[in-house]
Amino acid sequence: MPLDAYRSLGRSGLRVSPFCLGGMTFGEEWGYGSDEAGSSAIIQRYTELGGNFIDTANMYTLGHSEAIIGKHFEGRRGERNRVVIATKFSANMSPGDPNGGGSSRKAILAACEESLRRLRTDYIDLYWMHWWDQFTPIEETMSALDSLVQSGKVRYVGFSDTPAWKVAQAQVTAMFRNWAPIVGLQIEYSLLERTVESELTPMALELGLGVTPWSPLRAGALSGKYSRDNTTPESAGRGPSLSRNLTPKAFDVIDVLLAVAKEAETSAASVALAWVLAQPAVTSPIIGARTLDQLTDNLQALEVRLTTDQLTRLNEVSTPPADFTALNMRGAMSGSFGGLTVNARTFPLGLRSVTENDKVW
């Protein structure tokens, strides 16, 4: 699959590459990442290969990430129009100001103007709510976002890192008010983070949201660089986030990942990325790169074709414990369709199933 095998983002007309280029490593303010020249070279290589989807946020490297992207595309109007630039609001870039962050109308409009300035553009293709603001009515947030879409400063709207019930409330509110709908959902998703499969990804499929997973390599834990005997992070800046992911259970998953990578004659990182890309609801995993070599390595995952057996082994070793909703639904579906096959799914008889031998009162 080439990088220019574009996909529709959710139930929208926006077409994006199968891998999105993440901008969190553009700038060195957080102790890791690339300088301006290195970041620009990565952006250039990505777009030359057909990539058209770049994701950042107002807070990434204290605003420098947006500025680097803006500087790269300044004076390249044709290239800028071909690229889908996504950024986020919610983070407070004005310490001490209670209205500087969150998802109120005041905060959203101010954050949008600042992002437009740093990005040196007059419109944002996809504007993400970075996380849910519990102090602002969702109607106010969706109304403000619709205003930005109507003004032309934003083209599409997305939500990130927000509970499924709140995303659903926002989407239904937008539908009934005829406001701009949510078209994308950005969440952490990887072989080591699959709890989103309980509520978030089924919701995305139902409501027409294209999922763009962040950290598909779990902060590097799935890169193949680490083992039970080697848990020392390469980058001190990301050390804490990586170290907490290198658990005994994680290494059970990594063992299978390495075995599959050997069979497929590719890297562990490529297998991990290919697995995420193959999941229902996923449109475009977000890949990060501090160097051109890392970008090239990550893009190799587009050529990986995992067999049914390999997917099954990866799924079995990485499946997390089911929560109440998932467990209850298994019994409920057997109660409704036990012993039957519906839509290619066969349901076993359960405690709630009634058979021909049962007496029905």
Is the domain of 169 the same as that of 272? yes
Residue 53 or 360, more confident: 53
Residue 238 or 184, more confident: 184
Q: Provide mean pLDDT across the span 281-308.
A: 95
Residue 360 lies in a domain: no
Is the domain of 247 the same as that of 344? no
- Provide the residue range defining the domain that includes 88: 7-318
Residue 229 lies in a domain: yes
Is the confidence at residue 223, as pLDDT, over 80?
Answer: yes
Is the domain of 77 the same as that of 138? yes
Residue-level length of the chain: 361
Band of residue 239 on the pLDDT scale cut at 50, 70, 90: low
Q: Provide mean pLDDT across the span 209-230.
A: 90
Q: Provide mean pLDDT across the span 270-293.
A: 96
Torsion sign across C-alpha atoms 42, 83, 170, 103: positive
Mean pLDDT of the chain: 93
Q: Provide mean pLDDT across the span 107-119.
A: 98
Is the confidence at residue 349, as pLDDT, over 90?
Answer: no
CATH of the domain at 136: 3.20.20.100
Q: Which residues of 331-353 are buried (b: 16+ CB within 10 A; e: fewer)?
A: eebbeebbeeeeeeeebeebeeb
Task: Give CA–CA dist 349/245, Å, rounded.
Answer: 38
Q: Provide mean pLDDT across the span 315-320.
A: 96
Residue 220 or 350, more confident: 220
The CB-side HSE value for 87 (13 A sphere, CA atoms) comes to: 32
Terminal-to-terminal C-alpha distance of the chain: 57
Residue 96 lies in a domain: yes
Band of residue 351 on the pLDDT scale cut at 50, 70, 90: low
Other Cβ atoms closer than 10 A to 22 = 24
Band of residue 241 on the pLDDT scale cut at 50, 70, 90: low
Task: Give CA–CA dist 170/154, Å, rounded.
Answer: 18
What CA–CA distances, in Å, run from 154 to 53, 180, 226, 296? 15, 10, 41, 31
Is the confidence at residue 216, as pLDDT, over 80?
Answer: yes
Is the domain of 232 the same as that of 335? no
Is the confidence at residue 243, as pLDDT, over 80?
Answer: no
Extended strands (E) in 62-215: 84-89, 124-129, 154-160, 182-186, 210-211
Residue 217 lies in a domain: yes
Is the domain of 310 the same as that of 326? no
Task: List residues bridging with 342 in a β-sheet.
Answer: 345
Can 60 be counted among the known catalytic residues? yes
Is the confidence at residue 240, as pLDDT, over 80?
Answer: no
Q: Provide mean pLDDT across the span 164-170.
A: 98
> Nearest to residue 223, comparing CAs of 194, 240, 245, 201?
245
Is the confidence at residue 352, as pLDDT, over 70?
Answer: no
- For the segment 43-78, what is each residue's pLDDT rounded down to a tens digit? 999 999 999 999 999 999 999 999 999 999 998 888
Residue 360 or 252, more confident: 252
Is the domain of 202 the same as that of 328? no
Is the confidence at residue 343, as pLDDT, over 90?
Answer: yes
Task: Give CA–CA dist 317/249, Å, rounded.
Answer: 9
The number of folded domains in the chain is 2
Residue 110 lies in a domain: yes
Task: List residues bridging with 88 in a β-sheet.
Answer: 128
Is the domain of 151 the same as that of 25? yes
Residue 249 lies in a domain: yes
Is the confidence at residue 276, as pLDDT, over 80?
Answer: yes
Q: Provide mean pLDDT across the span 298-320.
A: 96
> Nearest to residue 4, comparing CAs of 39, 56, 46?
46
Backbone angles phi, psi at 80, to 5 degrees: -60, -40
Is the confidence at residue 234, as pLDDT, over 80?
Answer: no
Task: Give CA–CA dist 140/151, Å, rounded.
Answer: 17
- For the segment 31-50, what is each residue's pLDDT rounded down to a tens digit? 889 999 999 999 999 999 99
Is the domain of 125 the same as that of 271? yes
Give the per-residue pLDDT at 236: 55
What CA–CA distances, in Å, run from 208 to 9, 193, 196, 280, 292? 9, 22, 16, 12, 34
Q: Report the interhelical angle of 36-48 vs 64-73 (nearest 10°).
A: 50
Give the per-residue pLDDT at 300: 95
Q: Provide mean pLDDT across the span 78-92.
A: 96
Is the domain of 290 the same as that of 214? yes
pTM: 0.92
Would you state the structure tokens that stand for residue 98, as one six-digit string?
């209670």
Backbone angles phi, psi at 103, to 5 degrees: -130, 30
Instruction: Give percent of the chain with pLDDT exceeding 70.
Output: 94
Instruction: Give percent of the chain with pLDDT exceeding 90.
Output: 81
Pairing of β 124-129 and β 154-160: parallel
Is the domain of 150 the same as that of 188? yes
Is the domain of 231 the same as that of 349? no
Residue 119 lies in a domain: yes
Give the per-residue pLDDT at 315: 97
Give the per-residue pLDDT at 235: 60
Is the domain of 190 the same as that of 226? yes
Residue 212 lies in a domain: yes
> Nearest to residue 299, comparing CAs of 37, 18, 55?
18
The CB-side HSE value for 162 (13 A sphere, CA atoms) comes to: 28
Task: Give CA–CA dist 30/240, Å, rounded.
Answer: 13
Is the confidence at residue 359, as pLDDT, over 70?
Answer: no
Q: Which of 6, 32, 46, 60 is catalytic?
A: 60
- Residues ≥6 apart with Cβ < 8 Å to 156: 9, 12, 14, 125, 126, 127, 149, 180, 183, 184
